[in-house]
Chain A
């Protein structure tokens, strides 16, 4: 029977049961078994079917008494409480994304329509492209070939500022969209979580 009690002690040690409590349980168990044997009985009279599974018996007893060491959860980790963001931050990012998208779209439209004189003219009027007034202004009906001065065509004259404008808008749009995507990205969230934790 000593072997049964020793097996229980090993299990209690493994479960982190404090030594004084483990000793107390071992003494009670030994005394009861010895009394049963002294009366002509056996350890089975005391332990029942638990006699055949000392580790399970020891764990059940310690667990019922609530004296096992608390287990530390390792996996999965406890979820971190997400940082409470001010309400205006997501709204600002969404507005920023919309702005960037609009800029990019405008730039794409300008690039697509750069050879269109109508578009070029509208852009020129809108942005006061130098020289456009002279080109569209009514001119005296003079023979065109006689007074023709080689120079940039209407489209060519408009293309320079339009292309520059499109490039600038595209750049602004891409940068703004990039910043917005970076804000919502998982990397950004992880970084934020680390700060919270």
Chain B
């Protein structure tokens, strides 16, 4: 059996100090296998995005351990975190966060440039995978939300990361486009060992997950394996 992709032990994150201290993650523990499609589910303020940020090494933990692919990331230096994000993690955000002055091709190639050779070719391949081969020269302002999110997914996976972290990727999209994006995210893991974490407050989306971790008030209140994940096209919300 291969080693787990992500193992959290007593992971705690507290913002602020003294009277203003807020516990965003409270003694969170779980173990995720490689290649799993994990949905982090919970209401606003439950700590799901904080947990995603911890896995993405966007911020440090207050206490506990977080091991990704065998490496402890909780105590990494800034430089090590940058290197970790570059090599290990791809992000997809709710509002796409594309660079408006760059074309779809360039947005993807920008990240490809810092992670390997032939950025232009890799960018084109990725945009083809997300179905945007005819939009490579378009700027974000010339594309729909769904198309922009596809570019964001291409950007997230162009460096072939073992982890893909998605924060409410369908939050700004209509149902049809949302399902299409979810289908795309699911497909990017097929044939790879890539682990996907998807943050959402939409419990319907949990139906497509291999694994659902439920959070409330910073605690893990549920960690369920879904033996029969639904197809994204079957989802309704």
Same complex: no
> Which residues from chain A sit less than 8 Å from chain B, CB to CB?
none
> Which residues from chain B sit less than 8 Å from chain A, CB to CB?
none
